[in-house]
Amino acid sequence: MAALPQSPCTGVLAEEAVVIDFGEHEGKSVLQVNDENPDFYSFLVEQREKGNFSIRRNKNKEFKLFVKTPLQ
């Protein structure tokens, strides 16, 4: 069985399905941020590697991305 392609930021979830829920990019999808601000996308990938963020599914079935540590 072939492995599913994985995002470096959202894993097996599609980047267009995960919405950022903090900061100046609040309400934008991870895919949109990747296109508009690659530096911030790299920051998100670093935070994932450090274990400092989570993706949660809301009652409306929307996936929200949160960074666990406050931004300076």
pLDDT, tens digit (0-9, with 9 covering 90-100), for 29-72: 999 999 999 999 999 999 999 999 899 999 988 999 988 875 55
Q: Which of 3-7, 19-23, 52-56 has the lowest mean pLDDT?
A: 3-7
Q: What is the pTM of this model?
A: 0.83
All structural domains of the chain with their residue ranges: 15-53
pLDDT at 2: 61
Handedness of CA 63, 31, 66, 20 (dihedral sign): negative
Return the higher-pLDDT residue of 24 and 4.
24
pLDDT at 47: 92
